């Protein structure tokens, strides 16, 4: 089975990194199409097939992934439509805000289509990826695509209506998590730690929080209760954050990103 990635910027490139680290595809069965020679040289050194020709990348692939800026999707799709084979190929479009209706308008003879939003942690096999199976997709094709991306993190099958919410919660959300790491690290410096040490402390603490919730199944508030002793420093710190609007700010940011 062969897969092509048309567009290897931040998100497309991270996805290719995940495919390389995974076990489903041999490197030579992955094709990257991108106008950047630097990007192509990077992946060529890893024995990935590379080209600047989108049609060449698409025509021999079983799965064609288009991962470009939303305003470039129409141009890319119309540029490869002559070589797409709806009977033999699957099309995946990774581009926030581009609807299946628009894609089918640009590609009247569209292959079985999936809309998808991963996040950049896919490069480390740790993405939260949202998958939307569109019309003409079979259960077998959905299972195939899900299995491919499950190897690069976790996936959730959803509908197109919830894709914007998924984008802000997980794709944008990874940036929100990193902003917390930055803020807490700066706080650690103010408390007396060196910058690198503070960052490491915060990252390990976040990793521990995630693993605790995953392994225990606890609701976050129940886990918080385990470390908030009456009159203790944890509850004082939490209350100060809430006085500054912590929870409200997070929810407002998520809702703003979903608009």
Question: CA-to-CA distance for 91 and 65, rounded, in angstroms?
Answer: 6
Domain that holds residue 228: 173-257
CATH of the domain at 68: 3.40.50.720
pLDDT tens digits for 107-146?
A: 999 999 999 999 999 999 999 999 999 978 999 999 999 9
Question: CA-to-CA distance for 201 and 205, rounded, in angstroms?
Answer: 6
pLDDT of residue 136: 83
Do 188 and 251 belong together in one domain? yes
CATH of the domain at 199: 1.10.3730.10
Question: CA-to-CA distance for 103 and 59, rounded, in angstroms?
Answer: 18
Which of 154, 123, 155 is closest to 16 using CA atoms?
123
pLDDT of residue 135: 78
Do 15 and 124 belong together in one domain? yes
Do 186 and 130 belong together in one domain? no
* pLDDT over 80 at 39, yes or no: yes
pLDDT tens digits for 188-236?
A: 999 999 999 999 999 999 999 999 999 999 999 999 999 999 999 999 9
pTM over 0.85: yes
Do 85 and 13 belong together in one domain? yes
* pLDDT over 90 at 258, yes or no: no
Which of 176, 135, 114, 127 is closest to 155 using CA atoms?
127
pLDDT of residue 248: 95
Looking at 158, 190, 213, the residue that finishes a domain is 158
pLDDT above 70 covers a percentage of the chain that reads: 100
* SS3 letters across the chain: CCEEEECCCHHHHHHHHHHHHCCCCCHHHEEEECCCHHHHHHHHCCCCEEECCHHHHHHCCCEEEECCCHHHHHHHHHHHCCCCCCCCCEEEECCCCCCHHHHHHHCCCCCCEEEEECCHHHHHCCEEEEEEECCCCCHHHHHHHHHHHHCCEEEEECCHHHHHHHHHHHHCHHHHHHHHHHHHHHHHHHCCCCHHHHHHHHHHHHHHHHHHHHHHCCCHHHHHHCCCCCCCHHHHHHHHHHHCCHHHHHHHHHHHHCC
pLDDT of residue 149: 98
* pLDDT over 80 at 175, yes or no: yes
Is 168 contained in some domain? Answer: no
What is the overall mean pLDDT for the chain?
Answer: 96
Is 165 contained in some domain? Answer: no
Name 90's bridge partners: 63
Do 178 and 126 belong together in one domain? no
Residue 257: pLDDT band (50, 70, 90) is confident
Question: CA-to-CA distance for 174 and 172, rounded, in angstroms?
Answer: 5
Asked whether the beta carbons of 257 and 167 are under 8 A apart, the reply is: yes
pLDDT of residue 247: 95
Do 48 and 143 belong together in one domain? yes
* pLDDT over 80 at 259, yes or no: no
């Amino acid at each position: 089975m062969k897969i092509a990635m048309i567009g290897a910027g931040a998100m497309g490139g991270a996805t290719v990194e995940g495919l390389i680290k995974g076990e489903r595809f041999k490197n030579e069965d992955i094709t990257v199409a991108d106008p950047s020679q630097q990007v192509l040289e990077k992946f060529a050194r890893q024995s990935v097939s590379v080209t600047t020709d989108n049609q060449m990348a698409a025509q021999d692939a079983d799965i064609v992934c288009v991962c470009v800026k939303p305003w470039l999707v129409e141009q890319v799709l119309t540029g490869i439509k002559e070589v797409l084979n709806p009977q033999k190929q699957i099309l995946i479009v990774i581009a926030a805000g581009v609807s299946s209706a628009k894609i089918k308008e640009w590609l009247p003879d569209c292959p079985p289509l999936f809309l998808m939003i991963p996040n950049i942690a896919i490069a480390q096999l740790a993405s939260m990826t949202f998958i939307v199976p569109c019309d003409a997709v079979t259960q077998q094709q959905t299972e195939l695509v899900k299995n491919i991306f499950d190897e690069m993190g976790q996936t959730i099958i959803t509908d197109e209506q919830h894709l914007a919410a998924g984008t802000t919660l997980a794709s944008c959300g990874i940036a929100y998590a990193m902003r917390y790491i930055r803020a807490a690290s700066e706080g650690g410096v103010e408390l007396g730690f060196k910058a690198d040490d503070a960052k490491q402390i915060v990252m390990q603490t976040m990793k521990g929080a995630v693993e605790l919730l995953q392994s225990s199944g606890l609701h976050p508030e129940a886990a918080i209760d385990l470390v908030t002793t009456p009159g203790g420093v944890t509850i004082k710190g939490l209350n100060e954050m809430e006085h500054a609007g912590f929870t409200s700010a997070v929810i407002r940011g998520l809702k703003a990103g979903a608009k």
